[in-house]
Structure 1
Amino acid sequence: MTGQRLLDIQDGHNFRDLGGYETKDGRHVKWHRLIRSGSLAHLNEHDLSTLAAIPVTIDIDLRAPEEVKQAPDKLPQNASYYHLPVFKSDETDASHSDEEIMSRILKPGNGYQHMLDVYRRMVEVPTAKAAYQRMFELLLSNNPTQATLFHCTAGKDRTGMAAYLILSALQVPEETILKDYLLTNKATQSFREQWLQMLRDKGENEVVVENRRALGSVSVDYLNQTIDLINTNYGNVQNYLTEYFDLSPTDLKQLQQLYLD
């Protein structure tokens, strides 16, 4: 499986290995150490065996409590589960029905604007800070031969922010991180287009469909807003990691020793 970015998962979406990315100093992220994904709620035996073989031993669930209750994770063998909610409720709307967010999807552009607000809040709210701080603690504690998987419902926003922070801590260039972030759109394209066509077939108008498209995909604007906000408030992402998340130079060096070749 070395070199395989998209994992062979049948009953889940957006399962990706972060291995192979080159750092600013020419090192590379190790394969089979960092896995990002969408929901684990519907995995079949093949999927669970695939994750167990990596082996995934830490499962970090970034979803809100009601998402976990509605669709609990299925864990690969020998994996420990950690619930680290970024938000108190699902602010990304990944788990919400059209009826639940009707007021948000009836006005043109609301989906896009809502996602910009979500990303702003991920930089600032205490629950997000606590979740990502604990995530780094777990990354520092994992065995060098085992993998950590981190996920939310769609594996794109809360998970995308986590990947941005981790890869930044490992000194992966911002351009590479943005490419990984946008890979969500390619990895989920077929599923999303089928879903949007289903909305059209149900009679939804194009305003609803386009708002749902914005809510169900990623945009470079979302992550760039995050980066701009971090740079404005902290100077750069490295200062954000050390000042906001209290990662010491020793912590960052240890992360790089654990996850880079």
Structure 2
Amino acid sequence: MTPNELPIHHGFNFRDLGGYPTKAGQTVASNRLIRSGRLNELSTRDQAFLADYGLKVDVDFRSPEERADSPDRLPAGVDYQFTPVFPTDETKVTKSQEEKHTELAQDPLAGFRSMVKTYAAIVQLPSAKKAYRQFFDLLLGMPADGALLFHCSAGKDRTGMGAVYLLTALGVDPVTIRQDYLASNLFLVGESQRLVNEIKAQGGSPALQASYRSLGGVANEYLDSALFTINREYGSLNDYLTNELLLTNSQRQDLRALYLK
């Protein structure tokens, strides 16, 4: 099924998860669950759209540094919840990571390998488990109407894994979940190319440009790294939800009552 992109003009990768079918024959409800990239550039018109759309809760998976640098712009009355997956931003290169930057400039596959490593970490770090458990608590605490939005910087990695966990708990089949995950590439083409063009304009090597292409998108191998680590360390994705994120069968039923139709 085609992802439902929202008409946000000063942001990217804004999508309503409504419409995805479950294995039991139900459908994820619309106007309830939104995944997105950063919200710091939202215009007044964008904020008005989200208010009219019914946005009630904003879940921010970014690091404290990212939040400080680019705070969310939100309609009045939206409940902002900060649940950092990483204590620092592991999904991009920052100025303080000079050593890593040098590696990326010398090896065109360094960015790809970095992302594979990041996805293995995202399922094991205590900070990530805590953040995603808080995410489920917020989902379970939502009223029967209105929307919850969850996001990181590009809306692809930390947000992508949040969507994997949520859609799995709702009973969506793995093929659809993977398609939703990979769909970020459709909505990040412009942003990814902008970053590569910046690197090129600054005299960045072809290897550095290739690494930034890897950092700027998603890939089957990234998700597979997370799922392989889950299967190796925790048994299965359902076991992970139960034993690591402490999501009970009763809570899964509550989620389905809230977000399926």
TM-score by length of 2: 0.94
User: How far apart, CA to CA, are the structure 1 residues paired with 2:159 and 2:102?
Assistant: 26
**1:147-171 CA distances to partner (integer Å, 9 max, x unpaired)?**
1100011111111110100001001
Query: What amino acid is the match of 1:204?
Result: G
**1:103-140 CA distances to partner (integer Å, 9 max, x unpaired)?**
24123211111111111111001000110000000000
User: How far apart, CA to CA, are the structure 2 residues paired with 1:142 and 1:68?
Assistant: 24
User: How far apart, CA to CA, are the structure 2 residues paired with 1:223 and 1:24?
Assistant: 21
User: How far apart, CA to CA, are the structure 2 residues paired with 1:97 and 1:76?
Assistant: 32
Q: Which residue of 2 aligns with 1:180?
A: 180
Q: Does 1:224 align with 2:224?
A: yes
Q: Which residue of 1 aligns with 2:27?
A: 28
User: How far apart, CA to CA, are the structure 1 residues paired with 2:250 and 2:35?
Assistant: 25
Report the CA distance between 1:102 and its aligned residue: 1.9
SS of the residue corresponding to residue 41 of structure 2 reads coil
Q: CA 1:53/1:89 → structure 2, altered by over 3 Å: closer, same or farther?
A: same
Give me the identity figure in percent.
39
1:2-13 correspondence to structure 2 within 5 Å: 5-13=4-12
Q: Which residue of 2 aligns with 1:152?
A: 152
Report the CA distance between 1:85 and its aligned residue: 0.5
User: How far apart, CA to CA, are the structure 2 residues paired with 1:248 and 1:16?
Assistant: 27
1:71-110 correspondence to structure 2 within 5 Å: 71-93=70-92, 96-97=94-95, 100=98, 101-108=100-107, 109-110=109-110
User: How far apart, CA to CA, are the structure 2 residues paired with 1:259 and 1:104?
Assistant: 44
Q: Which residue of 2 aligns with 1:64?
A: 63
Q: CA 1:119/1:99 → structure 2, altered by over 3 Å: closer, same or farther?
A: closer
Report the CA distance between 1:63 and its aligned residue: 0.6
Report the CA distance between 1:15 and its aligned residue: 0.6
Q: Does 1:131 align with 2:131?
A: yes
Report the CA distance between 1:4 and its aligned residue: 7.2
Q: Does 1:122 align with 2:122?
A: yes
User: How far apart, CA to CA, are the structure 2 residues paired with 1:170 and 1:154?
Assistant: 24
Q: Does 1:161 align with 2:161?
A: yes
SS of the residue corresponding to residue 150 of structure 1 reads strand
Report the CA distance between 1:99 and its aligned residue: 7.3
Query: What amino acid is the match of 1:26?
Result: G
Report the CA distance between 1:205 and its aligned residue: 1.8
**1:50-77 CA distances to partner (integer Å, 9 max, x unpaired)?**
1111111100000111111111111123
The question of whether the paired residues in 1 share the 8 Å contact of 2:31 and 2:53 is answered with yes
Unaligned runs of 5+ in 2: none
**1:209-256 CA distances to partner (integer Å, 9 max, x unpaired)?**
000011111111000111122122333211111111111110000001
Report the CA distance between 1:143 and its aligned residue: 1.0
User: How far apart, CA to CA, are the structure 2 residues paired with 1:192 and 1:69?
Assistant: 23
Give 4+ residue runs of structure 1 displaced > 6 Å after superposition. none
Q: CA 1:110/1:41 → structure 2, altered by over 3 Å: closer, same or farther?
A: same
User: How far apart, CA to CA, are the structure 1 residues paired with 2:97 and 2:64?
Assistant: 20
Q: Which residue of 2 aligns with 1:215?
A: 215
Query: What amino acid is the match of 1:23?
Result: T
Report the CA distance between 1:199 and its aligned residue: 2.5
Q: Which residue of 2 aligns with 1:204?
A: 204
Q: Which residue of 1 aligns with 2:17?
A: 18
User: How far apart, CA to CA, are the structure 2 residues paired with 1:216 and 1:28?
Assistant: 31
The question of whether the paired residues in 1 share the 8 Å contact of 2:105 and 2:204 is answered with no
Q: Which residue of 1 aligns with 2:140?
A: 140
User: How far apart, CA to CA, are the structure 2 residues paired with 1:75 and 1:225?
Assistant: 34
RMSD of aligned alpha carbons: 1.6
